[in-house]
Amino acid sequence: MTTTAPRAPDLATLIDRHRDEITEAWARSSQRLPGSRYGEHPLSEIQSWLSPETDATVTTLSTGSYGPTEAYLQETALACLAGGFGISEVIENLMLFREAALPFILRSYPPGAPQLDKALAALDAYLRFKVGRFGRYYAEAVDQELRSSEQRLRTVADFAYDWEYWVDASGSYIYVSPS
């Protein structure tokens, strides 16, 4: 279910023009997140993770299509889950994009200009969508991982020589091994 993204070609061009500086500032902010796994990784590695997201942001804001962002977020949700990143630290990191891009946006428009308000509104709308959609994809990835884990445990229990059973909170049996 893709909705229409805010189309902001001027903002996209601005972000594209300063992509390296924005990505570096974003990566530095990511490393400083308290208690986050981002701090365990070198700056260059974090930048390599964030660069495709900057590309997706530019394309989305240029075209008004969330397609590139959604594709990126689906991959990111799986990679973050596999890498042991919690949803809250990834969402906090996603929001740091605004902090990294803001100095360039503020320098490009006069204070109080309608273009500034429009650019900030487009960026905020984009970030709200991105965070919400990432949460959905992360939840789907967690659900898939739980299903896979349950299937592995069920396989082990099915071939165990001992009697295995699982009960729910009410005491009802939800699984009984063939043994």
Closest CA to 57 of 121, 122, 103: 122
**pLDDT at site 132:** 94
pLDDT tens-digit profile of 117-141?
999 999 999 999 999 999 999 999 9
Q: Cα–Cα distance between 146 and 150 in angstroms, integer?
A: 6
- 139-142's contacts with Cβ under 8 Å and 24+ in sequence apart are 140/77, 141/77, 141/78, 141/81, 142/81
**pLDDT at site 44:** 96
**What residue has token string 């100095």?**
103
**pLDDT at site 11:** 96
